[in-house]
């Protein structure tokens, strides 16, 4: 079975050539770790920029690893809402 590598900013798949012996996690594996680990070295020493609203209602933010110096973009998509309540009546 061949490995599926995430794509870089140029749209080409990232390979072990860019990251040495540790191929990066595929995007869906990164999401399975809830974004708490670097997709390259699995470090928990991460930094993130403020989220920005993009077209079509998605949010994105830049992530970086203080361990291996990898950088990436995260994307968030609105899936709905929870716990809707009626606000207090005006007095």
HEC-encoded secondary structure of 49-77? CCCEECHHHCEEEEEEECCCCCEEEEEEC
Please report which helix (H) or strand (E) contains residue 46, including its range: strand 46-48
On the question of pLDDT at 31 being above 60, the answer is yes
Is residue 24 in a domain?
A: yes
- The reply to whether the predicted model has a pTM over 0.85 is no
On the question of pLDDT at 52 being above 90, the answer is no
Please state, rounded to an integer, the average pLDDT across all residues of the chain.
Answer: 79
Is residue 31 in a domain?
A: yes
On the question of pLDDT at 46 being above 90, the answer is yes
Q: Say how far apart CA 73 and CA 52 lie, in whole Å.
A: 11
CB 71 within 8 A of CB 62: yes
Is residue 47 in a domain?
A: yes
Is residue 4 in a domain?
A: no
CA-closest candidate to residue 3, choices 21, 91, 77? 21
Q: Could you tell me the residue range of the domain that residue 64 belongs to?
A: 16-76
User: How many domains does the structure of the chain reveal?
Assistant: 1
Is residue 50 in a domain?
A: yes
Is residue 91 in a domain?
A: no
Is residue 10 in a domain?
A: no
On the question of pLDDT at 16 being above 60, the answer is no
Q: Of 8-22, 23-37, 74-88, which range is least confident?
A: 8-22
Is residue 67 in a domain?
A: yes
């Amino acid at each position: 079975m061949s490995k599926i590598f995430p794509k870089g900013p140029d749209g080409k798949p990232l390979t072990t050539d860019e990251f040495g012996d540790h191929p990066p996690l595929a995007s869906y594996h990164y999401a399975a770790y809830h974004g708490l680990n670097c997709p390259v070295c699995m470090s928990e020493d991460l930094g993130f920029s403020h989220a920005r609203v993009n077209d079509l209602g998605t949010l994105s933010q830049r992530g970086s690893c203080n361990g291996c110096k990898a950088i990436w973009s995260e994307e968030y998509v609105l899936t709905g809402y929870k716990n809707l309540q009626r606000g207090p009546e005006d007095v």
